[in-house]
Amino acid sequence: MADEELSPTLPHRRDAIKSSVHNIAANRRRQHAIAVGKERREALIRTKRLCRDSLADDSEVPLEGHMIIDEEKAVLDSKTSRTVEELKSAMTYQGKGAIQKKVEILRALRRLLSQSEVPPIKAALQAGAVPALVQCLSFGSTDEQLLEAAWCLTNIAAGEPEETKSLMPALPLLIAHIGEKSATAVAEQCAWALGNVAGEGEELRNILLAQGALLPLARLMLSNKGSPTRTAAWALSNLIKGPDSRAANELIRIDGVLDSITQHLQKADDELATEVAWVVVYLSALSEKAISLLVKSDAAQLLVARLVASESLQLLIPVLRSLGNLVAGSSYMIDSVLMSGHNITDQLLSGLIKCLKSEHRVLKKEAAWALSNIAAGTCEHKKLIFSSEATSLLMHLLSSAPFDIRKEAAYTIGNICVTTEKDAEQPCIIVTHLVSLVNKGCLPGFINLVRSADLESARLGLQFLELVMRGMPNGEGPKLVEREDGIDAMERFQFHENEEMRNMANGLVDKYFGEDYGLDS
Partner 1 sequence: MAMEITQILLAAQSQDGQIRSSAEGNLKQFQEQSLPHFLLALSIELSNDQKPPESRRLAGIVLKNSLDAKDSIRKENLSQQWISVDPAIKFQIKESLLRTLGSSVSEARRTSSQVIAKVAAIEIPRREWQELIGNLLNNMTQQDAPSLKQATLEALGYVCEEIAPEDLEQDQVNAVLTAVVQGMSQMEHSFEVRLAAVKALYNALDFAQTNFQNELERNYIMKIVCETAVSKELEIRQAALECLVSIASTYYEILEAYMQSLFNLTASAVRGDEEPVALQAIEFWSTICDEEIAIQDEFEESSNGSSCPNFHFVEKALPLLVPMLLETLLKQEEEQDQDDGIWNLSMAGGTCLGLVARTVGDGVVPLVMPFVEGNIAKTDWRSREAATFAFGSILEGPSVEKLAPLVQAGLDFLLNAMRDQNTHVKDTTAWTIGRIFELLHSPISSYPVITSENLPRIMSVLLDSSRDAPNVSEKVCGAIYFLAQGYEAPGSTSSLLTPYLGDLISALLYSADRADTNNSRLRASSYETLNEVVRCSNVPETINIIAQLLLEILKRLGQTLELQIVSSDDREKQSDLQALLCGALQVIIQKLSSSNAKSIILQSADQMMAVLLQVFACHSSSVHEEAMLAIGSLAYATGSEFEKYMPEFYKYLEMGLQNFEEYHVCSISVGVVGDICRALDKNVLQFCDGIMSALLKDLSNPMLNRAVKPPIFSCFGDIALAIGELFQKYVPYVIPMLQGAAELCSHLDDSDEDMLDYGDQLRRCIFEAYSGILQGFKGSKAELMMPYASHLLQFTEAVFRDKNRDEGVTRAAIAAMGDLANTLGPNTKVLFKDCTFHVDFLVECLQSEDDQLKETATWTQGMISQVLVS
Binding site residues, partner 1, CB under 8 A: 1-2, 4-6, 8-9, 11, 13-22, 25-26, 29-30, 32-34, 36-37, 40-41, 44-45, 48-50, 91-92, 94, 134-135, 137-140, 172-173, 175-176, 179, 210-212, 215-216
Spatial neighbors of 85 by CB under 8 A, at least 6 apart, are 127
Query: Are the C-beta atoms of 251 and 214 separated by less than 8 Å?
Result: yes
3-state helix, strand, coil in the chain (%, to 5): 70, 0, 30
Measured in whole angstroms, the distance separating CA 252 from the mean position of its chain's CA atoms is 17
Comparison of 182 and 262: residue with beta carbon closer to partner 1: 182
Beta-strand runs (E) in 359-435? 418-419, 428-429
- Closer Cβ to partner 1, 23 or 400, answer by number: 23
CB of 489 to partner 1, least distance (A): 56
β-pair partners for 429: 418
Q: Of the two residues 139 and 495, which places its CB atom closer to partner 1 in the complex?
A: 139
Report the distance separating Cα 56 and Cα 75, nearest Å.
26
Cβ 128 vs Cβ 89: under 8 Å: no
Helices 184-200 and 227-239: angle between axes, nearest 10 degrees: 20
Backbone angles phi, psi at 460, to 5 degrees: -60, -45
Of 93 and 403, CB closest to partner 1: 93
The SS3 assignment for 429 reads strand
The least CB distance from residue 12 to partner 1, in Å, is 10
Residue (of 408, 343, 422) closest to 374 by Cα position: 408
Shortest Å distance, C-beta 188 to partner 1:
18
Whichever of 4 and 71 has its CB closer to partner 1, that residue is 4
Closest approach of Cβ 28 to partner 1, in Å? 9
**φ and ψ of 493, to 5 deg:** -95, 5
Encode 145-184: b = buried (16+ Cβ within 10 Å), e = exposed.
bbbbbbbbbbbbbbbeebbbbbbbbbbebbbbbbeeebee
Distance of closest approach, residue 81 Cβ to partner 1, in angstroms = 19
CB nearer partner 1, residue 62 or residue 140: 140
For residue 150, which phi and psi values (nearest 5 degrees)? -65, -35
Q: How far is the CB of 428 from partner 1 (least distance, A)?
A: 53
How far is C-alpha 99 from the geometric centre of its chain's CA atoms?
38
Question: Which CB atom, from 92 or from 343, has the smaller least distance to partner 1?
Answer: 92
Give min distance, CB of 443 to partner 1, in A: 59
In the complex, the smallest distance separating the C-beta of residue 57 from partner 1, rounded to whole angstroms, is 19
Q: Whole-number minimum distance, CB 13 to partner 1, in Å?
A: 6
- Residue 213 CB, nearest approach to partner 1 (Å): 9
Q: Which of 56, 372, 363 is nearest to 203 (CA)?
A: 56
Least distance between partner 1 and beta carbon 17 (Å): 4
3-state secondary structure of 387: coil
Who contacts 269 (Cβ-Cβ below 8 Å, separation ≥6)?
A: none
Which amino acid, one-letter code, is at 279?
V
CB closer to partner 1, 190 vs 333: 190
From residue 442, alpha-carbon distances to 383, 491, 494 in Å are 17, 21, 24
Which one, 171 or 437, has the nearer CB to partner 1? Answer: 171
Residue 47: how many other CB atoms lie within 10 Å: 12
